[in-house]
Amino acid sequence: MTTAPQATRSAPFGGPADLILRGGPVITLDAANTVVEALAIRSGEIIAVGSAADISALKGPMTQVIELDGRAVLPGINDAHLHGSWLGARWPSLFFGGGDSGHDGRLLNNADERRAALRKTWALLAAHGITSYTEPGIGPGEDQGETGCFGTAMLDTYVELAGTEAQTARVTMLRLFGFLDGASTFADMRAGLAVPAPSTDPRWLAIPGVKIFADGIPPMHSAWTRTAYPKGGYGGLMTGTGDEAERLAEFTAMVELAHGMDLQIGVHATGDRTIEEFVGIIEKLGGAGERRHYLIHVDLVSGEQLRRMTAAGIGLALQPLIADHTADWLAGAVSAEAAASAWPIHLMLEDGLRAVLSSDAPIASFDWRRIIASAAGLLEQRGVAVDPAQLTRLLRMYTSIPAEQDGAEGWKGTLEPGKVGDLCVLSADPYSVGAANLPEIDVDLTIVGGIVVFDRSHATAESIIA
């Protein structure tokens, strides 16, 4: 860290700020949880944060000034598990909690439709303060898929639109060499990985790894569990074919291949047996290290497994709103004991565990305010009072911690000098209303790379409904 004043530090390209926001709580979510009054951006980057007086000194004749009048600023929201192409293709239909259900079968047929789906999603996300997301699973495994949302052609569309004006959210993508929510094989993964990922500007489209669908979901008795379902059976892995041992060998080989190539691995894993096996494989490989592997959903994870994940550098992506929508369904399928200990979010708040909140849209809404309220509800059910410190943690699980999952904490995820100017302006201070009431707060502005990409005062009603 430099000790020089910001204006001096940026002198070579210096001069006044392009954009100043001042007069409200700027919740930086830096390591010290600093809250300041104002922030300045130049050339897409935050150049200074501090008092309104200090920041106002960076104002020049061309500087745009946004008066916050008490409104709050947060780092841009990062939804670490959101199917962007599918959301845009299905909108306004969600699987849980919204829209009609007449959006099955083939959704995207050509390049125009693929572009339109992404543009739709980006507009929706901009209207909700979301400036980054992970697109979890695009690749050749879905070239014959029924929706047309996840194949190689969609990868090409992402590459084509990356960094254009239409793209108002930064994308991290995991490649997929099997079917979405379906089977995959080591042979297909090896063949797929032999084709390098396209080279892209990683600040707009990063492609750091692969997605593996390991098991199903507990309500369908397809999550792989250590204890039998009351109706019988243990579920199982979707990797490979054959008996349990063969499927596990296939899964192990796939993980070892991607890990050995230094790729990040995101694993759909809901059953405690699946989680156990993945953690064991990574422990044997010496931990995830900088690859930052993570488990997605983790419905039936145990406290002991969470501790081992922390030690092995394995993160997780949780979807509290899906837990809300499916808790009764899950309770009808697993033992009362398993249902009571499902989604143990109260054990996921420790520093060191890379746990993030996410939507899995279009399975459920991508409205992060509702998802944080759901997370707060789950915490309260488990006896944890959601005080301001817990709210800070929940906000971090949507900003700074997913930036770590993206391997991008050096340049996004908090509001600090040197990071990109990705942020949202909220109509009120989240700490003044509390986590449970967050859905009452509006997103007034969304800014990506210093550019205003959403302004509620100019928005049409249609564009802001989710």
Nearest residue relative to Zn ion (C-beta): 360
Which residues lie below 8 Å from residue 163, measured CB to CB, with a gap of 6+?
A: 201, 204, 205
Least CB distance from residue 360 to Zn ion, whole Å?
Answer: 4
Least CB distance from residue 241 to Zn ion, whole Å?
Answer: 23
Residue 142 or 360 with smaller CB distance to Zn ion: 360
Report the distance separating Cα 174 and Cα 168, nearest Å: 19
CA atoms within 13 Å, Cβ hemisphere of 395: 28
According to DSSP, the β-strands at 35-42 and 19-27 are: antiparallel
Least CB distance from residue 83 to Zn ion, whole Å?
Answer: 6
424 bridge partner residues? 74, 446
Show contacts with Zn ion in window 348-367 (CB under 5 A).
Answer: 360
Residue 79 or 360 with smaller CB distance to Zn ion: 360
Closest CA relative to residue 386, chosen from 434, 438, 428, 344: 434
Residues in the chain: 466
Q: Is there binding between residue 79 and Zn ion (CB under 5 A)?
A: no
Which residues lie below 8 Å from residue 164, measured CB to CB, with a gap of 6+?
A: none
Report the distance separating Cα 237 and Cα 269, nearest Å: 9
Residue 247 or 268 with smaller CB distance to Zn ion: 268
Residue 360 or 444 with smaller CB distance to Zn ion: 360
Residue 176 or 193 with smaller CB distance to Zn ion: 176
**From residue 101 to residue 130, what is the string marking binding to Zn ion with x (rule CB under 5 A)?**
------------------------------
| Element spanning 380, H or E | helix 368-381
Residue 37 or 360 with smaller CB distance to Zn ion: 360
Report the distance separating Cα 444 and Cα 250, nearest Å: 48
Number of residues that bind Zn ion (CB under 5 A): 1
DSSP string, 385-397: ---HHHHHHHHHT
Show contacts with Zn ion in window 358-417 (CB under 5 A).
Answer: 360
Least CB distance from residue 158 to Zn ion, whole Å?
Answer: 17
Least CB distance from residue 174 to Zn ion, whole Å?
Answer: 10
Least CB distance from residue 445 to Zn ion, whole Å?
Answer: 29
Return residues touching Zn ion (CB under 5 A). 360
